Structure 1
Amino acid sequence: MRRYSNAMKNSLLISSACLLALLSTVGAALPYPILAPLFADGTANGLNTFLGLPPKLLLGLALTINPLGLLIGSALLGPMSDRYGRRPVLLVTAVGAAIGHAITALALVIESFPLFIVARFITGLLEGNGSVARAMLADKLEGDLRRKALSWLNGAFYMGWLVGPLMAGFTLGYGVTTPFWIAVVLLLGTAVLVAKALPREAPSAATTSWWQVARHRHALNLLREPELRTLFIITLAYSCCVTGFYEFYPLWLVEVPGYGPRGIAWATAAMCAVMTATTIVAGRKFAGEPLLRARGFAYVTSSLIAVLAVGDANIGLAAIVLFGIPHAFHSSIVPHWCAERFGAHGQGAVMGLISTTFCLANIVMALIGAVLTLIDTRLILLLSAALGAWSAWRLQRWHYSLQQAVPAAGALS
């Protein structure tokens, strides 16, 4: 009976985390099929004519600001949940993200680029709670169940990238703000479910204020550790590879096959469906060294992005869809390995560092892409592929250096 009760609690915990991840990334993914046509199809509006700047440059800024909020939120929310508890942080951020989407809808109605930027920043800041959901699973679960749960959580994040673009593409006919209002309702519903599903936590005995936590316990403090700095550099390179692809393949779809929001939504749906299905297999236990397996999948990911950059419409579409397979495997391996190796630093901080790295990559690639796409969209895709290949090479070197360090440590003892 006790075993059954524990199994039920674990199932509820995993389901709650996955639902939160799903609905959080729905909101983050909503603008992807909307923004590229809005800024790049040649029709003038109050958003793409702001200050007379080039529309593609404004698109780059619009893509940058949400990840900037995610960067800050991911760095702070994980460690703050270590201090204040997972449940209250998840509740506050879910409601706050709903408010951010409501402001986004208002900005689109009045065609205010500055208000749109503020709204996307607020939303990104509060959607940085993905690190909290990861930390919650990492602290409560162990062994094979933790590996599977983190893989399922990744699947929920990927499904959000599927549902978000689909929702945007197929509800735009009811008005450009409709997808954002749907996101508001879903996030408020998520807050209610989290409140019911997660038990209240005992108040922390720590006396530090939230400001002290923000200043002294943010995830970037982990970079003082040499191994975590190495992890950060390698993960940043791979994340730049992935985010460069995510941010600019919709622009490639506008420019090469001539797709609008609905076409972008269908292409994204196919990619994310493949990615989500792959997580079922990716969460299983496999033989072999984790870093070497991640290296192989990073090479395949970068190769597909390179094919997208140089291929025609049909080859490029195939590369977009297939991208989800190696990336799902890579994203299943690395967080679990980090949870096992670096958990002593606090799972909230460790998962926050991973999320922060992804957000920083979004900012870097959006800014670089805003410039490179003025020349040719393929340039940012080729840069993404090169960074992915470098991360794979660096993973291999890191694996061998860790292997050499173990015998050396044994000899010293």
Structure 2
Amino acid sequence: MARFATASFARWGPRLALLGALGGCVEPYAPEIIDAPNSFLVVDGFINGNGRTRIQLTRTLNVAATTAPPVEKGAKLFILDDAGTRYPLTEKTAGAYQSDSLLLSPARQYQLRITTTAGNAVYESARVALKATPPIDQLGWRVQDEQVRLLLSTHDPAQATRYYRWGVAETWEFNAAFQSYLEYDRVKDDIVDRTTPIYTCWHTNRLSAIKQGSSAQLSQDALADVELLHFPRQDERFKIRYSLLVSQYAETAEEFAYYELLRKNTEAVGTVNDPLPVQLTGNVRRVDNAQEPVLGYVGAHTVQQKRIFITRAELPFVDFYQYDTPYKNCVVDTLKGAANDPNVVPISRTRNPDGILAGSRNCVDCRQRGSNVKPSFW
């Protein structure tokens, strides 16, 4: 039987609240690594064999902390192969590091080396072979039980992959509740004809869920109709146009097992039937102190991608008013307050020359929920 797994793990490294069941009693449980006051390194990312490697460095927080996880700034990172060649990463934003676009040799093995600014500590990931990821055969969808189900099929004719992980990014076009033809001009301190479009926007959502599949128990290295996502067909995503981009990664058995443990830990909700949380052991260590806990698993693989689009006309008919949007309670009213109120957007003039119809910014300005810049792939 093929194995599929998904789990939400937003901010999984820096703060991981886990619950366990012991002796019939449900009590909060936090592994020492997370519950301790120490600040341990969290390494999020992988070595990309056919593109840019992106690594995010943060520090752990106590499970009870309410602040954002601290990022690890100013570190020196590079990829090192078994021939001694180095490929540097540069810090693009605080704690986020990126390499140039690389085409790495599949004949070499690779590891990530990190030198932190504080304490000049050196961390290394285990040296691993570069896994070649097979292409995605098909990315599609079907409507079943009033749900739009996004499906993926893939296979490796060389029978050499067996373990797969997927990254998912979705984008959809949407309109605000009302189209505004007017805007407030601060220089003129007056309402003028609109020049900045705020009616149509695009929202992009990069899922932080662990999505994996394995053909290890199958005779063929193939997975068919793996369900990545599903949404009600009246979801706002499908009101105009929807796009799904899937990135596929070939994993080793060890990397797959690491993410399975991570999935199980982050799924725990504290019921008596929950599995006990397991402390994660990745493949990153501190060179001069192997006992220091480090969170993260740095694999090395090429990436295969595929994108699809779904337009409203392709789906079973749904009336515009039936779509589930956050604008159902939006109303238009005559502008009564100051024209420069940042929470109100003028929409149009009434028959009364001095009358202005207006609505709340959340209802009229689509930029509150997305970008008014059309994506390059649209």
The answer, yes or no, to whether TM exceeds 0.5 is: no
Give the structure with higher Rg (CA).
2
Where relative contact order (Cα < 8 A, 6+ residues apart) is larger, the structure is 1
Higher helix share: 1
TM-score where L is the length of structure 2: 0.22
Q: TM-score, normalised by structure 1?
A: 0.21
